[in-house]
Amino acid sequence: MVSSGNPYRYDTFGVGSGVSVLDANLNQVLSSGVGFRISASDPVYAQLRVRSNNGNQAGSLTSKGRNAFGKIFRLGSIPNLNPVNNKGTIFGITATEDNTEVQIDMTGSGVSLRGPSAPNTNSIITVNLDEGESYVMRANADDDPDNLTGMIGTLIMSDRNYCCQLRFMEWRRYYS
């Protein structure tokens, strides 16, 4: 049994681990069964830490439990002040019900998204998901000066509850 005195640690490595999303898989519906799903009968704290090959922390994601579920979220993060090729902002949306329509409003941000078929942020982006499916978007810090702070305040709305995850990460080119 997991408790504060008896934590659980799960180590996984590499892009094939189901934790990382490759550039080729950005901006499209990802099937259920990827990532981590944590459930408990009592409140728990969960954190994912991503480490680079040299052991330095490259990013993290903290679970917000029931607070991560809702119909309206705004993305919040610290501004990225270092426009280098291994930093950026990533967010993902996971549906908790079938036929979930999600609208992502980055209009006016100037953000240039990474990946194939990257949608233009000049208009609202609409995504349809079924339970357990996810959609992930990423903006690299060095792709566009607007990517340094442009995702802060992004409005994500839906007709049904969904889970939203936001990550500010540093990665190496061999991860994507």
Contact 4, 20 (CB under 8 A): no
* Boundaries of every domain in the chain: 23-34+66-175
> pLDDT digit string (tens) for 51-108?
666 666 656 665 566 667 789 998 887 777 777 776 788 888 889 899 999 999 999 9
Highest-pLDDT range among 11-25, 86-100, 115-129: 115-129
- As its CATH architecture, domain 23-34+66-175 has Sandwich (2.60)
CB-neighbour burial class of residue 143 (10 A; exposed 0-12, middle 13-18, buried 19+): middle
Q: Are strands 47-51 and 100-105 parallel, antiparallel or unpaired?
A: unpaired
Q: Which of 43-57, 79-93, 115-129 has the lowest mean pLDDT?
A: 43-57
Question: Given this model, what pLDDT does residue 13 score?
Answer: 58
Question: Given this model, what pLDDT does residue 118 score?
Answer: 92
Measured CA to CA, the distance from residue 105 to residue 116 in angstroms comes to 19
18 versus 26: which is more confidently predicted?
26
